[in-house]
Chain A
Amino acid sequence: AQSVTQLDSQVPVFEEAPVELRCNYSSSVSVYLFWYVQYPNQGLQLLLKYLSGSTLVKGINGFEAEFNKSQTSFHLRKPSVHISDTAEYFCAVTLSGGYQKVTFGTGTKLQVIP
């Protein structure tokens, strides 16, 4: 079975500074990887996803992530954060093919400091 680890439960960062949110997964087979964002009192929405092809994936709101198969990582990055990026970010993984469930990490709260 697949699993996802988000080591950082909270990440404080100053406005306009860069940020990286870490995500590691465990699976011995092909996977699909996702990053979702949850703003306060809202459901989750997709930031970006990796299915195949280029390992650098660009998403909405200036976020990007890089799939690294050898390190089983899918870290999320943004070169300059804004106050409005304050939210909780979830990494998720599913095995490709069949009726496999989507497994979410425990989330990382990004706090942007003015």
Chain B
Amino acid sequence: KAGVTQTPRYLIKTRGQQVTLSCSPISGHRSVSWYQQTPGQGLQFLFEYFSETQRNKGNFPGRFSGRQFSNSRSEMNVSTLELGDSALYLCASSPTVSAQGETQYFGPGTRLLVL
């Protein structure tokens, strides 16, 4: 099976712009979670989608949003970019919701640089 894929791999944006990141889960996986990874902060949970519904949300401002499509592919959007949004954004998929002890399978991430 193909792994989790994320596009694009690298992005450079300027403050105030918006960005959309895409994640394609492993075939058959219905849950997709998004994380922001920055040095020293580890992985910060953004949100999790399962069957097109947001099941959980982390402590991020409303500028961060996401959605999941019927084929389980997911997108996340960040509007009005700030310098502090520079990070590696990781997507992870699992067969069912991650809280049921499921293993999460991570993509390689999208590295976002905000200038």
Q: Please indicate whether A and B come from the same complex rather than being unrelated chains.
A: yes
Contact residues on A (Cβ < 8 Å of other chain), bracket: 20 to 34
- A101 and B43 form a contact (CB under 8 A): no
- B33 and A102 form a contact (CB under 8 A): yes
Set A44, A99, A106, A107: member contacting B97, Cβ < 8 A: A99
A103 to B41: give the CA distance in the assembly, Å.
Answer: 12
The tally of CB-CB contacts under 8 A between chains A and B is 69
A31 to B19: give the CA distance in the assembly, Å.
Answer: 35
Secondary structure dominating the interface of A: loop
- B42 and A43 form a contact (CB under 8 A): no
- B90 and A43 form a contact (CB under 8 A): yes
**Chain A residues near B98 (CB-CB < 8 A):** 94, 101-102
- Max chain A CB contacts within 10 Å: which of B101, B106, B109? B101
- A107 and B42 form a contact (CB under 8 A): yes
A residues adjacent to B (C-beta < 8 A): 6, 9, 32, 34, 36, 41-46, 49, 51, 90, 94-107
